[in-house]
Amino acid sequence: MTARTDPPTLDVHDVTVRFAGLTALDGLSLTVAPGSVHALIGPNGAGKSTCFNVLSGLCRPATGTVRLGGTELTRLAPHRIAALGVARTFQNIVTTDGTVADNLLLGRHALSRAGFAASALRLPTAVREQREHRARCREIAELVGLDAHFDTPVAALSYGDRKRVEFARALCLEPRVLLLDEPVAGMNAAERARTAEVVRDVRAHLGLSVLLVEHDMGLVMRLADEVTVLDFGRRIAHGSPEDVQRDPEVLRAYLGTGTPEEGAA
């Protein structure tokens, strides 16, 4: 697998998102340094998924900008953002149709140069392109540990493997920045450890940056180079995992302040 040049910096500047009276993100700024794993953490409802929705074009911010290197992504359509190198996985979506190969090829659809007609007519260029896509999908399956299941129906896989299909599908877009929304949610300890390893391998081999939303603090502390902490849409802390873990604001947000029933999940 070829290591590429450093991915561009992902820069979120002063982004605000409002939903009918509720400020889901309140002037959020964060920078994902090239090739780093940056974790975005915070209690339920803090605005983490909303941030991902802004980054992937599913939600338009009221104010603020998102830049990938010199390119402004703010308010571009999702497919444009994906084509520019930002891919995401979804918090609650696990694929159940088709084989692993089918799902990964679907991930490469956006990269296809041969048009629909050329593919349908099985023109030589389209056939060659299809073969190349399949070979690349196999490499990516190997990287995430799904090679043994390449032609297996997704429905027959364990939950952890199915979550990794979603992960691999995002990688098939050849992203420079990968957005992972709770990649180990619902996994057992062994599956979590395996996924952490995969994230590390992928970053090393594909040379991409990762923005990670995750509730598993052990995983965040092991994987992240930098951590941004959100509470009620505002950034309340950021820095190294060690710094953030000791930050009194962060402890307050997670543990509650004298009103435990309002404490975070």
The reply to whether 89 sits near ligand ADP by the rule CB under 6 A is no
In angstroms, give the least distance from the CB of 124 to Mg ion: 46
Nearest to 205 by CA among 33, 86, 35: 35
CB 161 within 8 A of CB 112: no
**How many residues make contact with ligand ADP (CB under 6 A)?**
11
Map residue 219 onto helix, strand or coil: helix
- Choose the one of ligand ADP, Mg ion, none that binds residue 57, judging by a C-beta under 5 to 8 angstroms depending on kind: none
Map residue 240 onto helix, strand or coil: coil
> How is residue 188 written in tokens?
């057992």
**Residue whose CB is less far from ligand ADP, 65 or 91:** 91
Site for ligand ADP in 9-28 (CB under 6 A): 19, 22, 24
Q: Which residues contact 21 (CB under 8 A, 6 or more apart)?
A: none
- Choose the one of Mg ion, ligand ADP, none that binds residue 24, judging by a C-beta under 5 to 8 angstroms depending on kind: ligand ADP
Interface mask toward ligand ADP for 35-74; x: CB under 6 A: -------x-xxxxxxx------------------------
**Residue whose CB is less far from ligand ADP, 172 or 229:** 229
**Residue whose CB is less far from Mg ion, 49 or 56:** 49
Q: Which residue(s) pair with 68 in the sheet?
A: 10, 71
- Residue ranges in contact with Mg ion by CB under 5 A: 48-49
In angstroms, give the least distance from the CB of 44 to Mg ion: 7
Q: What does the H/E/C string look like for 165-184? A: HHHHHHHCCCCCEEEEECCC
In angstroms, give the least distance from the CB of 263 to Mg ion: 17
Dihedral, CA of residue 10, residue 13, residue 18 and residue 22, to nearest 10: 100
- Choose the one of Mg ion, ligand ADP, none that binds residue 19, judging by a C-beta under 5 to 8 angstroms depending on kind: ligand ADP
CB 134 within 8 A of CB 105: yes
Q: Which residue(s) pair with 39 in the sheet?
A: 212, 227
Residues that bind ligand ADP (CB under 6 A): 19, 22, 24, 42, 44-50
